[in-house]
Every structure is written in structure tokens, then in C-alpha cells.
A and B are shown apart, each in its own frame.
Chain A
Amino acid sequence: MTTAPAVSAARGTVAIRSENLCRHYRMGETVIRAVDGVSLEVRAGEFVALLGTSGSGKSSVLNLIAGLDRPTSGSVVVQDRDLAKLSREELAKYRLRVVGMVFQSFNLIASMTLAENVDLPLRFAEVDRGQRQTLARQSLERVGLLGRMNHRPSELSGGEQQRAALARALINRPQLLLADEPTGNLDSHTGTEIMDMVRQFNRELGMTVVMVTHERALAERYAQRMIFLADGKLVDDRPNASTRRDSRGPGGQS
């Protein structure tokens, strides 16, 4: 593993803080309260799971933390940046330098090879071609896909695609890894493989991880803390009692 650890804030300091965070959509006459007064704190280096049924607002919270969306009211502060106050340009920079994202549907660009997909963030960061290639190789090596770097996503299995997406999320050495149902499209075995990798990044690189999932078992197995959302409101926030014991097998998922 040659990738240097991400420049992370000291463990234990507050990485993410939201206060009375709201995201409302107007649909004709009705107002949908996707996120409705969520206040939470995530410490640097923590692995947090956001749990809830579909429509509970967990993905909306993640998008607000990712800087893909802006709050209707309230604030979300990530490492002393108040995201609501950043310009569009500054938000793009924040996404580029601070955040790495993985999605349920992998979201690789179909027309590009793995290597090109992985080094795409570096193009936006205007990194030189030579350095880009080196970093892309390192990143792909970390997820065990160096041999497939010239393949297109459609030639890969789901697990491999998600690993490539992880490699892309890692390439900018972000402090924050945001995962939206990362195992949702994978079978339990490959899902475990991906989650093991995420945990590895969390532990070895000191990345703060926020994962959205509706599978409680998955959260219990990997997350240090579980935050439950329902109807856009935070309903429970508790440390995971079982997180220190990792000996459970893949059968832990139901």
C-alpha cells in the first residue's frame, strides 16, 4: 500500500456538525420536509452509519454533507467550513478536495476506462498527466484492480466496479468518505469485501466515514455509531455496542 494517509484532522475533533439542518422541497402546494431539523456531530476518524427506511431523509442528509445540496435552513459545518455559506465554485472545490463519494449504482462513466474514471477528479484538480497516472495506479492497486485498469466499467463485475469507485473516491486523499448504500447492488459476499475495504480506509488512513444504509446488520457490523432517521428527523443516535468485535462472519447480514 503506497498511498499516503489522508491529511486528516486529529482524531476526536469534530469533523461534521449540523445544527437544526433542514431541507424542504416544494412540490406544487405541498412542502416535503426531506430533512427536518437534524442536529448531529461526527468526530474525525469516526465511522458513522445513517440508518432509516427509504424516504427517511438519510440520503438527503448525506447530500447536504457532501455539498451536493444546500440546506433550506440550519447549518452544516464540515471542518470549520459552513457549507451553506460557500459559493458554487467553493462547494465544487470542497467536493473535490475534502470529500470522496461512493454510490449504490457505482456511478462510473461508461465511456471511460477504469484508469480514466479514477483519475477524473485529478483532471478537475489540474494535476499533471504523469502524476495523475502514478496516483491512479496506486489507487487501483490499493483496491486490487491494477490489472483491469484499461477495461471499461461494463466489462467488470459489480464488486469490481464498486472497488473502482472506491479507488476514485480515494485518489484525492479526502478526509471524508461518504457512502450511499455502497452494498445495495452487490451480493452479500462482495458487499462484505467492499465494506472491509471501507473499514480499512477508516482505520489505516484515518478517514471519517459516513455511510447511508437501510441494513441494520451491516451498520452493526462496521459502524462505530448508528444514527436513525425517520421522516427527516433524527430519532436515535447511539454507539454501536458490537463494533469492537469483528469476528462475526458474513452471515451477519440478513
Chain B
Amino acid sequence: MKIPDLTELALRNLRESLLRNSLTTMGISVGVASLVAMLSLGIGLQQLISRRLVKSGLFDTVVVTSRRDLRGRDEDRNGPTPGESRVLDEPARQEIERLSNVIEAYPDIRFITELRFDDKPHLTMISALPSSAKSNDAFEGMQGSFFSSDTAPEVILQKTFAEELLGKAPGRGVDETKVADLAKPLLGKEVTMRYAQRISGPAQPSPSSADATTPTDSGLATAAYSVISREQKLKIVGVADLDPESMRGPTRAKVFLPLRLAEGLHVMQPTDLREISRAASDQPVYSSIGVRVKNPAQIQVVEDAIKKMGFNTFSILDASRGLKQVFGVLFAFLGIFGSLALVVASIGIVNTLVMAILERRREIGIMKAIGASDADVKKLFFAEAGAMGILGGVVGVVLGWAIGQVINLGTNVYLKRQGLPPEHFWAVPWELVVFAVLFAFGVSLVSGLYPAGRAARLDPVQALRYE
């Protein structure tokens, strides 16, 4: 039989016992809906997290450190020994910035120092931010504004530090105090930062003596710089709700300065002690450099290029690979649970079709008597199963989508009450729609296997004798 004829006959047969077939189809719909709901939740969550991570600047950033850094990040022992490798200084930074696919390379300036507010000292980690950090996700929901310029004497506080300044105990629960309440008494106020400025000493090593002795010895002998205690008044322009450096762990900063301002201060850095020989010059030496790449896909290329220059690199790319694995497992679980209802529904199809064979025994006998082959009968039952599958699949996708919308809406109402921005964590891409309908179709065909085979094998003489 031709496919249009098959479809027509199948739909007619389905209409003949409308209630039973509708109930079976509804079963498939519920199965598909649960599958779609589960998977779109998974996809939505993944998209949400990816979006967050990309915005956080972690996925397009490579952190570069010198191999002199003895923290042992680099396992590669074949490279030059730490003592001989390159120093991460300003020329190196500029060289990295000239690499293709690199947007910017900014030094990571970070130091612990004292901030005075209301004549009370607060010891904290401070770090400098390039102006490109403005688009960083962490500043979403920030009170106040970002730095007015890259050199402005301004400061942005992280919420927990703002609480500390106001003498409030850090909130026990999640997001207990609203950032707006914290920002109100702080914005526009001044804090005083006390810091140690490094000034290069007057004695410069002469070229000849440097040649005569080993570099290390001559460096030590001639290195000299003074450290002067300084103060800098800073205006509080913003209070960040989220933690921009949440991925940094114990070295994360709670207070942020504009990058150029921080550079100009020549604050004594922890690396200065290690790089004592070079630090004597005015050229700064950086403990690490953040490199922003145009596209997360090019991270590997850029990383390789920087490694070739003789530096250690680290990116979140490896972490993201792990994340993909986590999502793979999550999808598998969501898919399995979502499919369970579809499995139950497929048993419903088998039942409905077996019942239909019993009812339509005579009809099958007639069809065979007037020339229907086994294949014709089989195809007819397959077509009925498939039609139920497709119908159920389409209705199920709509149902699943509707469930998702309702849950999304409900959650956003909840988020709004908590004072959080709305989120879209529900995604039904068209691939999922196509997949769900095809999957329902496939499951129905598999369910139709046994009934169709049984109908095809029916003995026409027996079937016609049966009154």
C-alpha cells in the first residue's frame, strides 16, 4: 500500500475507536511532555551557566605567570629552569598583547593593605580592574556605577566588605541583606588606603660589572629600592552584589581599583621580593597577567603561543571540559527519568493495538481475502502506532513547553520577591522539538512491532470464520 493510503486508513481506524486511541495518545503526550520538560530544564540550566561563565570573563581569559614563579603550576620539567626563564614585565605584556586573537593583556595587581573608614582600619585584599571588566557579569546588579575613568581615584567594594565597613556581621544565610541598603550609606563616601610604595633606589648596576659576575649575584648586589608608606583617598562609587572573583578562592579581593590608577601607585607587590634583581628598575614586574581572547574557541592557540614565549598559562578551559562531562551525566539522568513515562505510554500503545487486533480480527481476515499481503497488514498497524506517536509527540512538546513556561514564570516571581533579577533557565531549542517528536514516533513504532507482527500472521480462514 502507498503511504498516503496507509496514513488515511490508519487515521480512519484511529477515529473509529476515538476514546481509546485518544487516551493512548494522551499517554504518549504526557511521556513526551515529561521528557521535554526534563531536557529543556537541563539545556536551560546549561545555557544559563555557560552564559554566566562567559560573561564572568573566565572562559575567554588566560592567566599568564612567569616560570620563575615557583608555585609549581607547570608540570613541564623539560622547559628552562625557573631561574633562567623570562620575567613577566611590561615588554612581555606588550608582546602578549600583540599576539593575534588577543584583545588585551592586563597586569594582575593585587595586594593586601589597610583601608580606613570612619577612622577604623580594615585589612583587605585589593585588586585592580581593567575598564573592560565593566561588562563582567559580577557587576550586574551593582549599586552605584563603574569607575568613571581608568585613572580615577575611585573604589568599588564587594558586598561583604561593605558589610564589614558598616560594622554589620556578615549574613549567615544567602543574600540576607540587600545590597541597596548597604550601598546607601556608603556611596560617595571616602576611604583612605594606606599602602607601601616602591621607589627604585639610586644605585643602578653598571653594565660592565653585570657582565663580570653572574646575573644573580650582581642583581643582589646592586638591587636597591626604598619602600615608602603612602596614603590615597578613594571615593566609593559602587557596591557589587556578586563576587567578581569568586573563582579565585583565598586570594580573591573584596576591593577594586581602576587598573591605571593602581599601576601608577607602584604599590609594593609580593613578587617584588622574588624579582628583587629586576624590580630595582622602574619597569614593573607582574606576578601574573590576564589575557582576554576574542573568542573562547581560540584560547588553546593563544595559550600555546604564550607558552612558546616561555611563560606558564592557565585557563578555565580544562575546568569547562569537566563541566561538560557533568552536564552529560545530568542530561543522561534527566533523559532517563523523562523517558520513563514514555516507556509506560508505549506499553499503552501495545495494549491498544492488541485490543484493536482482537476487535478487528474479521476486518483483517477480509483484507487478506481480497488481496492484502502480510506486509500490508503489518504496515497498517505500524501506521496506526506511528500516527499515535507523532500526534502524541506534537501534543507532548506543546504540553512540555507550557509546563516549562509556567515553572519559569513561577520561579521568576520567586526570584523577584527575593530581589534577584529574572532568569531564563528554560530552553526548548528546535532540535529538542524535532528530537522529541521523532523519539515518540520511534518508540511508537517499536511498540507497534509486536501487534503488527501478530496482525500480519493472522490466519484469514480462522479470522473469517470468527463471527
Contacts and interface: CB of A to CB of B under 8 A. Distances in A.
Interface of A: 63, 66, 68-69, 88-89, 92-93, 95-97, 99, 101, 103, 105, 107-109, 111-112, 120-121, 123-126, 129, 168-169, 172
B1 A124 contact: yes
Contacts of A120: 367, 370
8 contacts: A68-B460, A89-B374, A92-B368, A93-B371, A95-B368, A95-B371, A105-B467, A109-B366
A75 to B, nearest CB: 19
Nearest to A88: B374
Given A68-B460, A107-B464, A96 B374 contact: no
A103 B463 CA distance: 13
A92 B373 contact: yes
Contact of A89 (B12, B373, B461): B373
B12 A111 contact: yes
Contacts of B13: 111
A36 B98 CA distance: 100
B1 A123 contact: yes
A166 to B, nearest CB: 12
A33 to B, nearest CB: 16
Contact of B370 (A89, A96, A126): A96
B280 to A, nearest CB: 94
Among B366, B368, B372, B375, the most chain A Cβ lie within 10 Å of the Cβ of B366
Contacts, number: 71
A172 B368 CA distance: 15
B371 A121 contact: yes
Contacts of B1: 123-124, 126
Interface string B449-467: 0000000000011001001
Nearest to B369: A101
B282 interface: no
A125 B371 contact: yes
B431 interface: no
A101 B365 CA distance: 12
Contacts of A89: 373-375
Nearest to B13: A111
Residues of B in contact with A, size category: 20 to 34
Interface string B11-28: 011001000000000000
B120 interface: no
Nearest to A106: B366
B455 to A, nearest CB: 14
B369 A66 contact: yes
Contacts of B5: 123
Contact of B374 (A92, A109, A168): A92
Contact of A124 (B12, B16, B362, B371): B371
B370 A121 contact: yes
Nearest to A168: B370
Nearest to B457: A88
B2 interface: yes
B369 A68 contact: yes
A109 B363 contact: yes
B163 interface: no
A167 B70 CA distance: 97
Contacts of A95: 368-371
B190 interface: no
B373 A124 contact: yes
Contacts of B373: 88-89, 92-93, 96, 124
B376 interface: yes
Nearest to B373: A92
Among B368, B371, B467, the most chain A Cβ lie within 10 Å of the Cβ of B371
A127 B467 CA distance: 31
Nearest to A66: B369
A26 to B, nearest CB: 14
Contacts of B368: 68, 92, 95
A200 to B, nearest CB: 21
A168 B370 CA distance: 8
Contact of A103 (B4, B12, B464): B464
* List of 6 A-B pairs having minimum Cβ-Cβ separation, nearest first: A96-B371, A92-B373, A95-B371, A107-B366, A123-B5, A121-B370
A147 B365 CA distance: 28
A28 B321 CA distance: 68
Contacts of A97: 371
A122 B311 CA distance: 79
A124 B370 contact: yes
Contacts of B365: 107
Contacts of A101: 369-370
A63 B461 contact: yes
B371 A69 contact: no
A27 to B, nearest CB: 13
A103 B460 CA distance: 13
B391 to A, nearest CB: 19
B456 to A, nearest CB: 9
Given A92-B368, A96-B372, A124-B371, 13 more contacts: A68-B460, A89-B374, A92-B373, A95-B371, A101-B369, A101-B370, A103-B369, A107-B362, A107-B464, A109-B363, A123-B9, A124-B372, A124-B373
Interface in B105-158: none
Interface in B272-307: none
